[in-house]
Chain A
Amino acid sequence: MNKRKLIGPTIWTLIIAAPLMLYFWNYDTTPELASVQGETVDWLLRLEFTIAAFFFALCVVFFCYALFAFRRRTGDKGEGLHFHSNTALEIAWTFIPLVIVLSIAFLGFQNLSVLGFEEGTETMEIEVTGFQWAWRFHYPEQPEMGISQAITTTELYLPIDQPIHFTTHTDDVIHSFWIPELRTKADAIPGRINELNLTPSVLGSYEVRCAELCGTDHAGMISPAEVVEQNDFVAWVDNEIAIANDPSLKGLAVAKQYGCIGCHSPDGTELAGPTWQGLYESERVFDDGTEVIADDDYLRDSILYPNEQIVEGYAANIMPMDFGERMTPEEIEEVILYIHGLSGEQSEAGE
């Protein structure tokens, strides 16, 4: 075998690999980064891409060179050069990659620590619960964090630079809690409590997106996530507490807790289910053509037996049918009372 034939492709490999590796080392392939932990994710990704770029250049250059240099010329009837093994070479291309992959695995092991906080870190606790197909976020009482009373919300507010310890839960099937800009994710699994540690580092509006297939509207299982200044966060918490303590808005807190307003907007926005604005005492037309005035009994039945009467233009079998088991009768009455408050006249009166 003519060893000089190796010189050309080796040089070409270096010529092509160098800019490719530099490119992957310097270029961010991921979206805007907004967490401290994400820096390690991006750094490791860049390292892996850079190493992959080298092997890509190596294989493709030798591959293309071989196709060109060792193609059969017209009229050539001969066979290829006969050689079938080289133990030194084979040991080399087994053990060099072995060392490389074990080194990467070691780096991966070493950086696992980024997924936890140093001992003694003061973390904010947030309980994330996924259900088909929305999220709710429960902030337990944490006076030292400015949360003087536990609140449950459908939007995630995070104070910047605050280490946060999320626990993930689910009411039904498996979901996965993920904010791409914060990088890491954690599944929410029935019967288990999973955790995720993140420190948001950039102000902005992001989205929680469910990353585990969870049925019909998996695609739409998205909630807003805001990273805000510390004092804005406290102001938001106080506002949420005020809402929770307002008796006329008590039902809103319940509705948020059970995810009602994931599909039924209180302000007229068109979602998967009919809006609650102006619903009370309005005339309802169903898909079978019948009509009824929306009184308390109608609202109660709609919560308990959602498939009995479907408002024209909406789909059946979307709303869970087990609210009668999950909600207490008092909670159902509170939601109905809250819907009273959203009827047209009162809203206008309020303005």
Chain B
Amino acid sequence: MSGDTHKVVSTSFWSLGLVRGLIGGVIAWFVGMAFVMGGRVLFGLDPVFSAEPVFVGGGVFFVLGVLIGAGAFTDWFSWARGGPVGDPDHPDPDGPQWPRYFNFDASHKVIGIQYTVTSVLTMFLGGIFALTFRTELAQPGMQFLSQDGYNTLMSLHGIVMIAAILLGVAGMANYLIPLQLGAHDMAFPRLNALSYWLALPGVILVALALPFGGFDTGWTGYPPLGTVAPLGVQFFYLGVWVVGLSSILGSANFLTTIFRMRAPGMTWFRMPIFVWGMLATSLISLFGTQFIGMAFLMVMLERLLGMGLFTPESGGDPLLFQHIFWFYSHPAVYVFILPGLGVISELLPVFCRKPLFGYRWVALSSMFIAIVGFLVWAHHMFAVGLSIPLTTFFMVTTMLVAVPTGVKFFSWLATMWEGKITFQTPMLFVLGAFLIFLMGGLSGPQNALLVTDLYLHETYWVVAHFHHTMFGGFVFPFMAAIYFWFPKATGRMYNETLGKLHFWLMFVGFFVVTTPMFRIGLLGMRRRISDYDAALGFGAHQTVTTLGAWVIGFSLLIFAYNIVRSVRSGETAPENPWSSRSLEWQISSPPPELNYEDPIIVVGDPYDYGLEDAPYTAFGSATGEAS
């Protein structure tokens, strides 16, 4: 590519993709509303301004407006007209770099950071929702929220956190997969940027459910409750649909990259274990996400067009929704945790200075979880009255998930065995994740048997179990990953003392949250209730849980301060601060625009720590050496 095709990076506020995207989105919103109203005039529908279809039309156009405004289609439009098309991999190297993070930029490292920052901000939003209703729950009786206010915040907390997790997974994967594979970028850089710029308006739409009346369905959005909920529920459905589309495009990109762009010599069983986790995750996302999209779209259509898909009087069936919904939404929890478990497996060898024990078993256990994960969905529906054969099938498949999960735990213990363990912040988060996920795993099988689940279903037991799997499987590994790869992405070190303080507060705070939840869940505390009878005696437990939640919130402020401060003025990081063998640590930090200026090849196994003369990588030409 010659220099004149470089994209010119402007630093003016009004030229930023984010600003233009939001302006474009707002304009398109009104265009969309006018479009729907025009259609209503054309077909003689009365009234012309019927709030729900008109606002939903605005929401759909909003997404397109953001994409067009941000410049997602600029290259494609130019190409269609026969005009010049800039190479997405060659932005202007001399101009300022910061506007790239606010623009439609195709570099996987820029997109990875965009995703990660958006994920953390979204997580803060979901956390604020949680702290608000958790404070309301601290004492019996309604203090400062209405019942609908509680229901909306509780529902939004769920779905906003899920969106944040999907963004976080995409953030880690975008930044790390090409680097860990020795590739210069993702397979489809523009599609990659499109995925991010779809996810952004998707998250905004979900958050817009709040000003548009909220919704009281929980993140599951079951009809018929979803069909009679306030207008806000439409923005929740639509936003999830858009985030889901982003997730599908992203996973197609990850899979292609993993299949096609590995460095010479990197066979399947020489891939970093995190990439195995992402491979399994992407397979689930690619084959599963359509189902939640379809389920939500069907409710939207039922509301907008009066289709009786889930209404028995019109020949529909509410259980149909639950089957379609859970066919993705159970595997989705493995989308959330498999990358996190990959981070644990990736970091343990580095901080134990030992090979990952049973690499192949660990890698294949992720694949096994991904496959079996598609066969367990109806365990969420045990209380609807399934037949005995179906129940039995889903009990057995659900119990089977415990086996590959156990393989991971035992392999991690064996990896630590006879190691030389050090306890820097990323390792602390990995170790914390181990204990938290262990409790999540051990509180799972009780829900897998129909007889015991008919008691535990819809209680705080399930809430505590789920939060253990999410914190152990995603949040703690995600924090570990941010601290671990922070020097790689920024070239600076974070503050170790603040990092450790963050860990200890968050770790202790988390158990303070969940331990009382397990207890009162077993005593019959229902989940998703805005208030509880003081006579049940759960007030003290709820107060403790709320205090723990505030401790977690406070620890995240320390985290945010540490990150912001270290990005600006952290010490310069050594080239390979963790003495990692992985590819990304063999080049400068932050990595050059195209990652590997000298071709890198893979000549050994990834985790041979402690073995002399067993290099994993070498620089040079691919010929002859990769055997």
Which residues of chain A are near B318, meaning CB under 8 Å? 174, 189-191
Among B357, B403, B420, which residue has its beta carbon within 8 angstroms of that of A94? B403
Which residues of chain B are near A72, meaning CB under 8 Å? 353, 420-422
Interface contact B407-A79, CB-CB below 8 Å: no
How big is chain A's contact interface, by range?
A: 35 or more
Interface check A224, CB cutoff 8 A: no
| B:313-342 near A, CB below 8 Å | 313, 316-319
Interface contact A109-B395, CB-CB below 8 Å: yes
Interface contact B458-A211, CB-CB below 8 Å: yes
Interface check A111, CB cutoff 8 A: yes
Known: A97-B403, A214-B225. Contact between A191 and B392, CB under 8 A?
A: no
0 or 1 for each of A12-47: is its CB under 8 Å from B? (1 = yes) = 000000000000000001110000001011001100
Which residues of chain A are near B442, meaning CB under 8 Å? 52, 55-56
| A:68-107 near B, CB below 8 Å | 70-72, 76, 78-86, 89-90, 93-94, 97-98, 101-102, 104-105, 107
Interface check B625, CB cutoff 8 A: no
Interface check B222, CB cutoff 8 A: yes
Residue among B216, B220, B316 facing the most chain A CB atoms (10 A cut-off)? B216
Among B147, B358, B395, B399, which residue has its beta carbon within 8 angstroms of that of A219? B147
Interface contact B449-A173, CB-CB below 8 Å: no
Interface check B501, CB cutoff 8 A: no
Interface contact A84-B357, CB-CB below 8 Å: yes
Which B-chain residue is minimally distant from A68 (CB atoms)? Answer: B421
Which residues of chain B are near A67, meaning CB under 8 Å? 416, 421, 431
Known: A5-B418, A94-B403, A190-B224. Contact between A219 and B531, CB under 8 A?
A: yes
Q: Which of B191-199, B296-304, B383-391, B470-478 contacts A (4 or more CB under 8 A)?
A: B383-391
Known: A80-B609, A85-B357. Contact between A70 and B413, CB under 8 A?
A: no
A63–B418 alpha-carbon span in the complex (Å): 12
How big is chain B's contact interface, by range?
A: 35 or more
Interface check A172, CB cutoff 8 A: yes
Interface contact B446-A108, CB-CB below 8 Å: no
Q: Which of A148-156, A180-188, A248-256 contacts B (4 or more CB under 8 A)?
A: A180-188
A90–B360 alpha-carbon span in the complex (Å): 10
Among A44, A63, A86, A109, which residue has its beta carbon within 8 angstroms of that of B392? A109
Interface check B232, CB cutoff 8 A: no
Interface check A114, CB cutoff 8 A: yes
Interface check A235, CB cutoff 8 A: no
| A:290-332 near B, CB below 8 Å | none
0 or 1 for each of B523-555: is its CB under 8 Å from A? (1 = yes) = 110101111110000000000000000000000
Interface contact A111-B451, CB-CB below 8 Å: yes
A67–B312 alpha-carbon span in the complex (Å): 58
Interface check B375, CB cutoff 8 A: no
Interface contact A41-B455, CB-CB below 8 Å: yes
| A:269-304 near B, CB below 8 Å | none
Interface contact B522-A174, CB-CB below 8 Å: no
Known: A48-B452, A190-B318. Contact between A101 and B403, CB under 8 A?
A: yes
Interface contact A219-B225, CB-CB below 8 Å: no
Interface contact A44-B451, CB-CB below 8 Å: yes
Residue among B312, B454, B609 facing the most chain A CB atoms (10 A cut-off)? B454
Known: A112-B450, A173-B225, A183-B454. Contact between A101 and B392, CB under 8 A?
A: no
| A:206-262 near B, CB below 8 Å | 209-220, 222
Interface contact A84-B457, CB-CB below 8 Å: no
A107–B316 alpha-carbon span in the complex (Å): 36
Interface check A60, CB cutoff 8 A: yes
Q: How far is the CB of B465 from chain A (nearest CB, A)?
A: 11
A186–B381 alpha-carbon span in the complex (Å): 10
A133–B417 alpha-carbon span in the complex (Å): 56
A218–B222 alpha-carbon span in the complex (Å): 14
A178–B456 alpha-carbon span in the complex (Å): 11
Interface contact B388-A79, CB-CB below 8 Å: no
Interface contact B524-A31, CB-CB below 8 Å: yes
Interface contact B147-A216, CB-CB below 8 Å: yes
A76–B403 alpha-carbon span in the complex (Å): 37
A89–B415 alpha-carbon span in the complex (Å): 13
Interface check A194, CB cutoff 8 A: yes
0 or 1 for each of B354-386: is its CB under 8 Å from A? (1 = yes) = 111111110000000000000000000001110
Which A-chain residue is minimally distant from B398 (CB atoms)? Answer: A105
Which A-chain residue is minimally distant from B420 (CB atoms)? Answer: A72
| A:127-149 near B, CB below 8 Å | none
Q: How far is the CB of B22 from chain A (nearest CB, A)?
A: 33
Which A-chain residue is minimally distant from B225 (CB atoms)? Answer: A173
A2–B418 alpha-carbon span in the complex (Å): 9
Among B217, B391, B417, B420, which residue has its beta carbon within 8 angstroms of that of A213? B217
Which B-chain residue is minimally distant from A73 (CB atoms)? Answer: B420
Which residues of chain B are near A108, meaning CB under 8 Å? 395, 448-452
Known: A44-B451, A214-B225. Contact between A105 and B608, CB under 8 A?
A: no
With A31-B524, A84-B359 known, 15 other A-B pairs at CB within 8 A are: A5-B417, A44-B449, A59-B413, A63-B413, A82-B609, A85-B359, A97-B403, A101-B399, A102-B399, A105-B399, A184-B455, A214-B225, A216-B148, A218-B151, A219-B147
Chain B residues with a Cβ under 8 A of chain A:
147-148, 151, 216-218, 220, 222, 224-225, 228-229, 311-313, 316-319, 352-361, 383-385, 388, 391-392, 395-396, 399-400, 402-403, 406-407, 409-411, 413-414, 416-423, 431, 434-435, 438-439, 442-443, 445-446, 448-452, 454-455, 457-459, 522-524, 526, 528-533, 605, 607-611
What would 15 A/B residue contacts be, using CB atoms closer than 8 Å?
A: A41-B455, A44-B451, A63-B435, A70-B419, A70-B420, A84-B357, A90-B358, A90-B407, A94-B403, A173-B228, A185-B457, A190-B311, A191-B312, A191-B316, A215-B229
The 9 closest A-B pairs by CB, nearest first: A191-B312, A180-B524, A79-B610, A80-B354, A108-B449, A84-B355, A219-B529, A80-B419, A81-B418
Chain A residues with a Cβ under 8 A of chain B:
1-2, 5, 29-31, 38, 40-41, 44-45, 48-49, 52, 55-56, 59-60, 62-63, 66-67, 70-72, 76, 78-86, 89-90, 93-94, 97-98, 101-102, 104-105, 107-109, 111-112, 114-115, 172-174, 176, 178, 180-181, 183-187, 189-192, 194-195, 209-220, 222
